[in-house]
Amino acid sequence: MKISELLDGIRTQDIVLPEFQREYVWNKDQAKKLMISLVREYPVGSLLFWKTNTPPELKNVKELPDKLGLTSVILDGQQRLTTLYLLINGDIPPYYVVQDIKTDPRDLYFCLDNGDFQYYQSTVMKNNPIWVKVVDVFNHKVINVFQIASEQTKDAAKMLELAERYSTHLNALKNVHHVDLPILTVPLKASLNESINIFDWINSQGTKLTDAELALTHVTGRWSQARRVMKDKLQELGQYHYYFDLTFMIRSLTGVVAQRALYETIHEQPKEKLIAGWETLSKILTYLSNLFPERAYVHSTWDLSTTNVLVPIVVYLSLNKCKFPNDKELRRAIRWMYLANAWSRYSGQTDQRLESDVAQVVQQESPWDALVNAIVDQRGRIEIKPADMEGRAAQHPLYLISYILAKANGANDWFNGLPLRNHLGPGYAIHSHHIFPTSFLYKHGYDEEDHVHRMIVNEIANRAFLTAETNVEISNKPPADYLPEVEKRYPGALAKQFVPMDPNLWKPEHYEDFLEARRIMLAIKMNEFFNGLITEPVIRHSRPVLELVKLGESITLEFKSTLQWDVVQNQMSKPLRKSVLKTVTAFLNSEGGTLVIGVEDNGNIYGLENDLATVSHSKDKFLNLLQTLIVDNIGAEFSPYVKTRIEGVDGKEVCVVDVQRSGIPAFMSGENGKEFFVRSGNTTRQLDPEETVKYIGLSWV
């Protein structure tokens, strides 16, 4: 059948593409080679159609137009036909939409002088009539070879020779329209499953489909809407910065449905089980995309070295009603995920390791220790050592771990104060900043052409995370100049990104000492961070409230009459909340402690009656308000260190807030920016910037 007839058949939907086919995946070089072969009259292979009067689910077609005869379903050759439709018709074929075409070959140009094909290059082709756009040739654009030739030479004989050459090449391109492509046909009596098996066999002979693509083909053969609903879900999750692909979707669906990780285990699953599994998977992915930004500091799939680490978690959730049964299991799962990323659990033997890990998830009620042990068996240890970062750049998994650690530590931008954990607009996208700028180091003894020097300059230990605006602002300033400015403007901002505070280390002659000190700090903090997820917070006071009242206020115990009720004015007063938040912040920065709300300074039980009246007399709303105030004013990363409860005392109710010492400095949002508080005796005291730096240096760094 002539190419022109084939393209007309696609346009009129006499030739259609089944939903189980993969998308257009050819690259530009493949498209160019197809046109070269056709112009030179080389064979380009046959096409395989399935002629049927009952076509399966079709791409981008809900209902075929009424017509006589059979419909030709493309089983093999869609990459070639799509390329030809794009280049000859100049449009996207009706079985695709714009977002399906990831690589568009329509900027292909043809040289009239030598018959060469190249993609558009401004320096060669702009205002050069010898180069014509392939799409224009087939879409009735007038190409006057004599005029083009006359622009190249004034010699009549030479002009005629050029025009003849141009015409020969142009006609060879135009004749592609009339090339006959051989058509093989699956008989009408063939079933859908038989057609899919033929499709698999044919594709295994040519550009081999991946195991994931074959699995998706089988799934779509049984459940025709599968590919479409998965792509809709991909688009939905992408709005929340979670960018998955069909390979991840089919791997996860296999885990949910078959409770295995090998793709072939989903091939024969019935439609009903596939649909039920998808509903479960869709619910789980929505749950994780809402849960992980706050609890795991994973605000995007870009924060993970590979999305494969989510597959065992997805399977676990599918066995537990699509949610973590308790906070302990959540924290253990997050810790394993961090370790699997840090130690590249799935960088090799992916199928075998995922199959083994999914088996552990299915067999054990709480599989996280077994999964961590598998990493130990693979890598020999899970403890991060400073040497693990030596010479390692941004491509290493520990780079992403250091970013997550900075977010968990409440890091903010050094020049605009914006928290790094928030997704911001394009001008504020997170950039990897060299603390010692590269151009600065190359001017102070390091050679850009030396591979070892480049490794040292680009180490993880020389990276901090800033918004794009700030990264440009700092440019190539010496650290000894701009780091003091940062600390003065936002006290504690350097410590939150684990920058050594010794100013001597900020000098170029001590750069490698700086790297060594920061590697040590990062390794210590990473291990503390991982271990903190499985260590239960130590509650300093576990006595009944009456016994606490008898103890009286101390460095680890304080009383507040109310949260937000002004006992003098007899009305709600939101500014009073700051008093409670200051105490919580001070306990986080000191030795921990207990705050009791509803008890006066002298130990009299005042109760929560008036506070509860401000939240519809709901204890749950009161505790939720308190937790929200802590998250909004101190930081979500400190939530695990604070436990709240309401107790009854002498017929009244009080709120007990138990606070564990934080592993990182805690700042409270105040009217003049971030404020730092500590306990001094039985009072809360605010430190000035200089005192804050010294305190942090002695307590955490």
Give percent helix, percent strand, percent coil of the chain, each to the nearest 5.
50, 15, 35
Q: Is 185 within the bounds of a domain?
A: no
Q: Is 633 within the bounds of a domain?
A: yes
> Which amino acid, residue 589?
N
Q: Is 595 within the bounds of a domain?
A: yes
**Given a cut of 80, is residue 289 above it in pLDDT?**
yes
Whether residues 361 and 347 share a domain: the answer is yes
Whether residues 27 and 159 share a domain: the answer is yes
Nearest-angstrom CA–CA distance, 298 and 292: 5
Q: Is 231 within the bounds of a domain?
A: yes
Whether residues 150 and 38 share a domain: the answer is yes
Nearest-angstrom CA–CA distance, 172 and 595: 86
* Mean of the per-residue pLDDT values of the chain: 88
Give mean pLDDT, residues 285-292. Answer: 92
Q: What residues make up the domain containing 471?
A: 388-532
Q: Is 53 within the bounds of a domain?
A: yes
Whether residues 559 and 526 share a domain: the answer is no
Residue 381 phi/psi, 5-degree rounding, is -165, 165
Whether residues 375 and 397 share a domain: the answer is no
Whether residues 323 and 397 share a domain: the answer is no
Which CATH number belongs to the domain containing residue 692 in this structure?
A: 3.30.950.30
Q: Among 34-38, 175-179, 522-526, 534-538, where is mean pLDDT lowest?
A: 534-538
pLDDT at 428: 44
Nearest-angstrom CA–CA distance, 485 and 29: 51
Whether residues 472 and 571 share a domain: the answer is no
Q: Pick 698 or 335 by higher pLDDT.
A: 335
Q: Is 203 within the bounds of a domain?
A: no
Give the confidence band of 427 by pLDDT, cuts at 50, 70, 90. very low
Three-state SS for 622? helix
Q: Is 539 within the bounds of a domain?
A: no
> Final residue of a domain: which of 330, 348, 382?
382
Nearest to 240 by CA among 281, 308, 286, 197: 286
How many domains in the chain? Answer: 4
Give the confidence band of 313 by pLDDT, cuts at 50, 70, 90. very high
Distances, alpha carbon 243 to alpha carbons 97, 237, 307, 354, in Å:
19, 7, 9, 20
Q: Among 28-42, 55-69, 273-287, where is mean pLDDT lowest?
A: 55-69
Q: What is the pLDDT of residues 158-213, one digit of tens each?
A: 999 999 999 999 999 999 989 999 998 887 777 767 766 666 665 555 456 688 98
**pTM of the shown model:** 0.59
Residue 687 phi/psi, 5-degree rounding, is -95, 145
* Cα-Cα end-to-end distance for the chain: 75
Q: What is the pLDDT of residues 594-609, one digit of tens each?
A: 999 999 888 889 999 9
Whether residues 242 and 369 share a domain: the answer is yes
Q: Pick 146 or 682 by higher pLDDT.
A: 146
Q: What is the pLDDT of residues 547-591, one digit of tens each?
A: 777 778 888 889 999 999 998 889 999 999 999 999 999 999 988
> Final residue of a domain: which of 382, 400, 419?
382
Whether residues 480 and 514 share a domain: the answer is yes
Whether residues 369 and 309 share a domain: the answer is yes
> Final residue of a domain: which of 341, 364, 382?
382
Nearest to 345 by CA among 366, 374, 320, 368: 374
Q: Is 197 within the bounds of a domain?
A: no
Whether residues 136 and 14 share a domain: the answer is yes
pLDDT at 70: 83
Whether residues 578 and 480 share a domain: the answer is no
Q: Pick 493 or 105 by higher pLDDT.
A: 105
Q: Pick 680 or 514 by higher pLDDT.
A: 514
Instruction: Give yes or no for a contact between 224 and 56, defined as CB atoms under 8 angstroms apart.
Output: yes
Three-state SS for 545? helix
Answer left, alpha or beta for residue 366, where phi above 0 means left and psi between -120 and 50 means alpha: beta
